[in-house]
Amino acid sequence: MTPLSGSIDNIIRTPDLDYTPDPKGLGYVLHQRMKSFGDKIAQIDGITGKKDTYDFLLQRCIRMAIKMRSLGVTHEDIICTCCLNHFDSCVPYIAALFLGTKVCALDPSLGEQDIVHLLQQVTPKIIFVDSDAEELIHKTINKIQKDVKVIVVLNVLQPNAEEHCFQPYETNDVFDTAIIFFSSGTTGLPKGICIHHYGMLSQIHNYFNSGCCSDAYLTFTSLYWVTSAFVVLATILRGNARILIPKFNPELVWNAITKFKPTSLNLVPFHCVIMCRNKPKNADTSSVTHLGVGGSVLVQSQMLDIQEAFPTSQLFPAYGQTEMSFAVTFFNVNSERDREFIKSKPTSSGTVVPGIWYKVVDVDTEEILGPNEPGELRVKTKFCMKGYYNMDSSCAFDSDGWLKTGDLVYYDEDKCFYVLDRLKDFFKFQSWHVPPAFVENILMQHPEIATALVIGLPNDVDGNHLMALVVLKNAKSKVTPKEIEEFVEKRVDDRKRLRGGVRIVAHIPLSATGKAKRREIRDSVLRGEL
């Protein structure tokens, strides 16, 4: 069906999704699909080549679910994982869904303070960890002083007499929360984003229909990321295989591409740049038919580099939001028209998706804009999040119930969307969200600093380098920018370092309402005016 556009009100309305998710929920569907795939390959170790079948994966997930149930876990609880990418990292995640339990994930590379904040937002009953992350998680639990059990994943996968008669939980409402992801939303520090069964199943259905299905996906990110969780669930529902690398390493990824012939990769621009710069001479990319790119703005020079590194691959640019369960715009590979758009509009992030309505509004007046007029993208759909966990979510929506994406975009006459910038306060460093408020709080602990503002300076490789503008309490202070950088560096993890430096200023420009306009201040810095 062809999307319909409101020619009078400039609202783009697409047809309702021609799909009804199974009312029994995500866990039930996963269980049934895994049973049907038997000895098909589910996972391949991207370093050793070892293979894992759906039968064996299902057996371990059921054993884990039974273990959880014996520990008192029910559909009312939350289970968390903190694992790198390996054969068993998805086991407690899937097992929780089998029980109708809400599930979330942390990334082992997160700093201790980050994890403390996240666990204060969403406190799980159990956290399943790799042995390497056990000490870190125990430290954070001691700080939040909550009763949370920590279990090393590999220690509980034992045979159980009940596994042959196990039955998954059946939900009563597909709009109940299934998964909680952590993201900063439109403002502030990370929040728990509640994604329901309907949203995830519907987005996977759209993904299948877009022609993105692939026999073997190469992945290297943890389940902390919505894209990684989405690929796990989508491959299971389709019976595809995943080739696993523990974490991003360009040499390991290139080796896996050459040895194990994945047909699909999903990358963010940062990964693309590093991959292109480290491509071995003998690398064979001919197996990669589909290359998904999203997560942040992709500039044309990066696009050309990717096409050179993967000359036979179909590039598939997309734009998504965690709050939307995955994609907001993408191109349909099955559509000849969309395939032409990918070639002729290389910086576009895709076109409209069935089941989503779109409007672009003026940032100041909220007037609904037409084609080629930049403004904030807002969307309305049943895929949208249920809300923020245990928090007021009203700030995420406008008065008419549209989700405020916080992104500056425009669309052209063909309804192809272009993402220009983020209106959100946070920045991305190597695809990680870095909330400036966190670094600003660290800066304000310095005895010589009166006020501080952190901005992101564009960087071709990392996305953004954080820079601090600080106003000193005493103009005669002898503190230097380098000393302030070192003060911050001792108190933050690597991604929050002030790689853009520190600038001592007499004052920080504020708007009439007393708020700092980060984007305008950043532009002033880039122009040398501040």
The tally of domains found in the chain comes to 2
CA distance 90 to 33: 16
| Predicted pLDDT of residue 178 | 98
Which of 421, 450, 471 terminates a domain? The answer is: 421
Which of 372, 400, 421 terminates a domain? The answer is: 421
| Predicted pLDDT of residue 424 | 67
Phi, psi of 255 (to 5 degrees): -60, -40
Query: Does 431 fall in a domain?
Result: yes
Query: Does 218 fall in a domain?
Result: yes
The torsion region of residue 372 among left (phi > 0), alpha (psi -120 to 50) and beta comes to left
CA distance 25 to 103: 14
Q: For residue range 398-424, list pLDDT tens digits in order.
A: 999 999 999 989 999 999 999 987 776
Could you report how far apart the first and last alpha carbons of the chain are, in Å?
51
Q: State the CATH number of the domain containing residue 440.
A: 3.30.300.30
- Considering the domain architecture, whether residues 359 and 469 belong to the same structural domain is answered as no
- Considering the domain architecture, whether residues 515 and 415 belong to the same structural domain is answered as no
- Considering the domain architecture, whether residues 218 and 247 belong to the same structural domain is answered as yes
Query: Does 8 fall in a domain?
Result: no
Query: 317 in helix, strand or coil?
Result: strand
- Considering the domain architecture, whether residues 193 and 53 belong to the same structural domain is answered as yes
H-state helical runs in 310-404: 336-344
CA distance 340 to 354: 19
- Considering the domain architecture, whether residues 407 and 514 belong to the same structural domain is answered as no
| Predicted pLDDT of residue 292 | 87
**Cβ–Cβ under 8 Å, residues 166 and 65:** yes
Give which of 210, 228, 229 is closest to 219, Cα–Cα.
Answer: 228
- Considering the domain architecture, whether residues 350 and 374 belong to the same structural domain is answered as yes
| Tokens 């306009």 found at | 517
> The domain containing residue 343 runs over which residues?
13-421
**Cβ–Cβ under 8 Å, residues 272 and 305:** yes
| Predicted pLDDT of residue 158 | 79
Which of 421, 443, 476 terminates a domain? The answer is: 421
And the tokens for 492?
């933050």
| Predicted pLDDT of residue 330 | 92
Residue 276, amino acid: C
**pTM, rounded to two decimals:** 0.85
Give which of 378, 25, 297 is closest to 172, Cα–Cα.
Answer: 25
- Considering the domain architecture, whether residues 370 and 474 belong to the same structural domain is answered as no
And the tokens for 149?
């059990």
Phi, psi of 520 (to 5 degrees): -65, -40
The residues of the chain scoring below 50 in pLDDT are 1-7, 186-187, 512-513
**Cβ–Cβ under 8 Å, residues 421 and 384:** no
Query: Does 1 fall in a domain?
Result: no
Query: Does 75 fall in a domain?
Result: yes
| Predicted pLDDT of residue 513 | 44
- Considering the domain architecture, whether residues 326 and 342 belong to the same structural domain is answered as yes
Q: For residue range 252-282, list pLDDT tens digits in order.
A: 999 999 999 999 998 887 788 889 889 999 8
- Considering the domain architecture, whether residues 269 and 133 belong to the same structural domain is answered as yes
Query: Does 7 fall in a domain?
Result: no
**Cβ–Cβ under 8 Å, residues 197 and 175:** yes
- Considering the domain architecture, whether residues 141 and 234 belong to the same structural domain is answered as yes
- Considering the domain architecture, whether residues 441 and 414 belong to the same structural domain is answered as no
**Cβ–Cβ under 8 Å, residues 320 and 227:** yes
Query: Does 386 fall in a domain?
Result: yes
Displacement of CA 248 from its chain's centroid (Å): 15
| Predicted pLDDT of residue 2 | 42
And the tokens for 334?
């099955």
Q: State the CATH number of the domain containing residue 51.
A: 3.40.50.12780
CA distance 524 to 530: 6
**Cβ–Cβ under 8 Å, residues 268 and 297:** no
Evaluated on CA atoms 4, 6, 12, 17, the torsion sign reads negative
Query: Does 3 fall in a domain?
Result: no
Which are the contacts of 499, defined by CB distance < 8 A and separation ≥ 6? 459, 462, 465, 466, 467
- Considering the domain architecture, whether residues 77 and 165 belong to the same structural domain is answered as yes
